[in-house]
Amino acid sequence: MATNESMDIFSSAFLAVEYVDSLLPENPLQEPLKNAWNSMLDNYTKFQIATWGSLIVHEALYFLFCLPGFLFQFIPYMKKYKIQKDKPATFEGQWKCFKVILFNHFFIQLPLICGTYYFTEFFNIPYDWTRMPRWYVILLQCFLCAVIEDTWHYFLHRLLHHKRIYKYIHKIHHEFQAPFGMEAEYAHPLETLILGTGFFIGILLLCNHVILLWAWVTIRLIETVDVHSGYEIPLNPLHLIPFYAGSRHHDFHHMNFVGNYASTFTWWDRIFGTDSQYVAYYEKLKKNKKTE
C-alpha cells in the first residue's frame, strides 16, 4: 500500500515537472543538438560511439577541466585563492602526473571503456534521439549516481587508508600533499579499478540511454577536478549543491592524510565523525584570525 502511494507521488511529481517543461519556450539549441546527434548515429557504429566516443569525451573533458587550475599558477592574482599557498605545484611533479595519467587512461580505463558497447548491447540500452530522456531526468539520474559513487568511495577510500594496505596502493595518490586538478586521477592502477567501480554502479542500476554515460562522466570529472584543484574559488556554482564537500574539504585530506574520505558530499564524514580533525583545524584558524 505504502509502495503504491510512493509510486503515485513520484509519478505525479514527474508529470507536473513534464507539464511545466512543456510550457517553457522551446530550447533553440535542441534542433542543432538533435541534428548533430543523428549525424553521429548515421556516420558511426554503436561500437565506435560507445568506445572511441566515450574515450574522446573523457580525455577532452578531463584536460579541459584541468586547464583553468593549471593556468592559475601563472596568474599572481589567483594565489590568494590557493589553499596551501606554501606548497606550489612543481613542473616536475605535474609532468610526472601527466605521464601516469596517460598510462592509466589508455591501459586501465580504455579496456573498461571498451566494455561499454557490450554493456549497452546486453541490456539493450538505446542510442537514438527519440528515446533520450529529458534533461531533468538525466540530471536526477546523475545526482543518484553521485550519491551511490560517494557512498562507495567513502567506505573503500577509508579502507585504503588502513595501515596494512595504505603503503601498497593509496600512498601513490598522496604523493602530492597539495593537490592540483590533474592529480585527480593520479593513482595506483588497482586504486583506479577499486574506487572507479563506484562510478559504474549507478550506471548499472539507472542507465536507460547511452547519453547517461557521457552526462555522468561529465559531472564526475567536474567534481573530482574541482575538489583536487587546490583553489577555493568564490562564487563556485558547485557550492550551491547541498552538502557538497568542495576543494577545501578534500585539500585537508591531502594535507592531513586522515579523515574527509568522501568524494562529493559531507554526510558520511559527518555521520562517522571522520571530519572532526578538519572541523577543529578550521575552527582554530578562525579563532587565530579574530585575535590577529
Q: What is the pLDDT of residue 264?
A: 97
Q: What is the pLDDT of residue 59?
A: 97
Q: What is the pLDDT of residue 286?
A: 81
Q: What is the pLDDT of residue 19?
A: 55
Q: Are 166 and 160 in contact (CB under 8 A)?
A: yes
Q: Are 184 and 224 in contact (CB under 8 A)?
A: yes
Q: What is the pLDDT of residue 187?
A: 96
Q: What is the pLDDT of residue 287?
A: 80
**Cα–Cα distance for residue pair 218/211, rounded to 1 Å:** 11
**Cα–Cα distance for residue pair 82/181, rounded to 1 Å:** 12
Tell whether pTM > 0.85.
Answer: yes
- Domain positions in the chain: 41-291
Q: What is the pLDDT of residue 288?
A: 76
Q: What is the pLDDT of residue 1?
A: 46
Widest pairwise Cα distance in the chain: 67
**Cα–Cα distance for residue pair 145/203, rounded to 1 Å:** 7
Q: Is 243 left (phi over 0), alpha (psi -120 to 50) or beta?
A: left
27-62: per-residue pLDDT in tens? 677 889 999 999 999 999 999 999 999 999 999 999
Q: What pLDDT tens digit does each residue of the chain (292 aa) get?
A: 444 554 455 455 555 555 555 555 556 778 899 999 999 999 999 999 999 999 999 999 999 999 999 999 999 999 999 999 999 999 999 999 999 999 999 999 999 999 999 999 999 999 999 999 999 999 999 999 999 999 999 999 999 999 999 999 999 999 999 999 999 999 999 999 999 999 999 999 999 999 999 999 999 999 999 999 999 999 899 999 999 999 999 999 999 999 999 999 999 999 999 999 999 998 988 887 766 5
**Cα–Cα distance for residue pair 92/127, rounded to 1 Å:** 43
